[in-house]
Amino acid sequence: MGEKKVIWIINEYAGSPYHGMVYRHYYLAKEWVKRGLSVYIITASYSHLFYNLPEVNGRYEIQKIDGINYVWVKVPSYKNSYDKRRILKWLVFALKLFHLGKLNLKKPDVILVSPSPHFPVIPALYFSRRCSARLIYEIRDIWPLTLVEMGGFSEKNLFILAMKILERFAYRRAHYVVSVLPGFSGYLRSAGIKNRPVFYIPNGFSPVDSKCDDCETVEKIKEVAGSSFIVGYVGKLGESNALEYLVQAASFISDSDIKVIIVGDGMKRRELKEYIKKKGLENVFLFAPVPKSCVKSVIKMFDVCYIGLKRKDVFKYGISSNKLFEYMYYEKPVIFAYSGGGNLVEAAKCGICVSPEDPVSISEGIIRVYKMPERERVEMGVNGRKFVERHHLYSVLADNYLKLF
C-alpha cells in the first residue's frame, strides 16, 4: 500500500466540539481520517467563538483530537468580534504560518486554505509550491465585501483595498476555488474574474449523539415554553442575524398563545434585552447559549424555527447557514426572513419565506404557521430532514471534496 495522502487545512477559526466553533473542518477532517487520509488542521490558539481555549505553551502546540492532528498557532487575544486587536491576530497568524516547516509536519499533498481575511493565502501558496501540493481556496464568507456591508468599513479604507488585492491574487493562483455559497461564481464575474470555475461544497451537518445532562438553561426553557406555541432561535446574536425584527414582530402578536424564545450570545444581546424590557414584551424570552450537546433538546421544544438576515447585496450570492441545517435535520418548519439568492428553504420546501427587516411580514408569517394544520408543519419538517440527508451531511460533502483531492 502507498503512503497516506496528507491534507493541510489552514483556517484561523477552525475549532472542535471540545473548544467551540467553527466546526466545518473538524467534521470534514474526521470523515477524511475514516477514509485513510492524514489530516492537519492548522488554526489559531484564540477565537472569540471558542468557549474552551486550547493550552498552548509555546509558539505552536500539536495535539491529536479524534484522529486529527491539530496545530495550534499562538496568537494575541481580543475581546469580541469587533475589537480592532482582532486584526493583529490575523497578521500574527499569517506570519507564523511561514515557520510551519520547522515543526516536521508531514509534507502535504493538498493544502486547503479557508481564511476570512485572505492573509494566509501567501504562506499557503508558498508551501503549495515548496511541497508541490494542490492548493484549494475555500470561501465561507465574501471578504472584504462583508466588512463593507455589515461592518460599515469604507471601500476606500487602505485595509479593505489591501484585502481586495489579496482576494484577486488568491482566486487567480489557487488550483481550485471552492465556496459554501451557491452563487459565488456570480460574485467572481462581478469582480471581473471570468472563466474561473467554482466548486460548490456547502456547509454541512453532523448529528450529535451526546446526551444533554443537567443543563439549567434547558430546564428554564421548558418552564417558559409550557404548552404555548414556540417560535425559536438558537445561535449567534450578531448584526447580520437581524433578530431585532423578530423581537419587534413579537409585539404584534402579544395577545396570542405564541412565545418567542431566543437562545444565544453576541454583540446584539444587550440591545435586544433592553428593547424587550423597554417595550414590556412578556412573550419574548432571552436565554444564554447552551452546550452543543443540548442544542437538539432546545430545538425539539420549538414548534417553528426562525432565521433572518439583513437586506444586503452580499447575500444575493446565497448563504450556507449551519443553524438552518440543524433546524431542518430536527424536522422543524422554518420561517425564513430572506431576500437573497440560493434560497434553501424554498428548495427544500421546509418552511415559509417572509420579507427581511419587516416586523409586520415576520409577524404575519408566524401567525400563518401558527394557524397551519399540524400535518402541514410536520410535512415541512420531514422535507427539511430529507434535504439535509441528501445534500448536507458531512459524509456527503467529504466525498465531494475527495474528487478535488
Q: How far is CA 104 from CA 7, 38, 98, 108, 149, in A?
A: 14, 14, 13, 11, 41
Q: What mean pLDDT, rounded, does the chain reach? A: 91
**Do 292 and 171 contact (CB within 8 A), yes or no?**
no
Query: Coil, strand or helix: which one is 46?
Result: coil
Q: What is the DSSP string of 134-182?
A: EEEEEESS-TTHHHHHHH---TT-HHHHHHHHHHHHHHHHSSEEEESST
pLDDT given at position 282: 92
**Which residues, at least 6 apart from 293, have a Cβ–Cβ distance to it below 8 Å?**
208, 210, 211, 212
| Contact predicate 257/230, CB 8 Å | no
Q: How many Å apart are CA 4 and CA 219, to the nearest integer?
A: 47
Domains of the chain are 6-201 (3.40.50.2000), 216-391 (3.40.50.2000)
Quick one: pLDDT at residue 263? 95
pLDDT in tens, 258-303: 999 999 988 899 999 999 999 999 999 999 988 888 899 999 999 9
Q: What is the pLDDT of residues 103-112, one digit of tens each?
A: 999 999 999 9
Highest mean pLDDT range out of 164-168, 223-227, 252-256?
223-227
Query: Do the beta carbons of residue 232 and residue 306 sit within 8 Å?
Result: yes
User: In the prediction, which pLDDT does 164 show?
Assistant: 84
Give the pLDDT band of residue 210 (cuts 50, 70, 90).
low
Say how many CA atoms lie within 13 Å of 6 toward its Cβ. Answer: 13
pLDDT band at 49, cuts 50/70/90? confident
pLDDT at site 335: 97
Residue 183 vs residue 39, higher pLDDT? 39
Helix (H) or strand (E) holding 231: strand 229-234
Name which of 201, 263, 113 is nearest 401 in CA terms.
Answer: 201
Report pLDDT for 1: 44
The confidence score (pLDDT) of residue 133 equals 96
Provide the pLDDT for residue 135. Answer: 96
Average confidence (pLDDT) over 37-49: 95
Q: What is the pLDDT of residues 161-177, one digit of tens each?
A: 888 888 888 888 899 99
Cell of 16: 472542535
Alpha-carbon span 244 to 357, nearest angstrom? 9
Sheet holding 304-308, edge to edge: 284-287, 258-263, 229-234, 304-308, 334-337, 351-354
The mean-pLDDT minimum among 113-127, 134-148, 390-404 falls in 134-148
User: pLDDT tens, 362-371?
Assistant: 999 999 999 9
Cα–Cα distance, 350 to 359 (Å, whole number) = 21
110 is written with which cell numbers?
493538498
Closest to 54 (Cα-Cα) out of 41, 30, 66, 71: 71
DSSP assignment letter at 214: S
pLDDT bucket at 159, cuts 50 / 70 / 90: confident
d(CA 307, CA 35): 35
* Cell numbers found for residue 173: 493562483
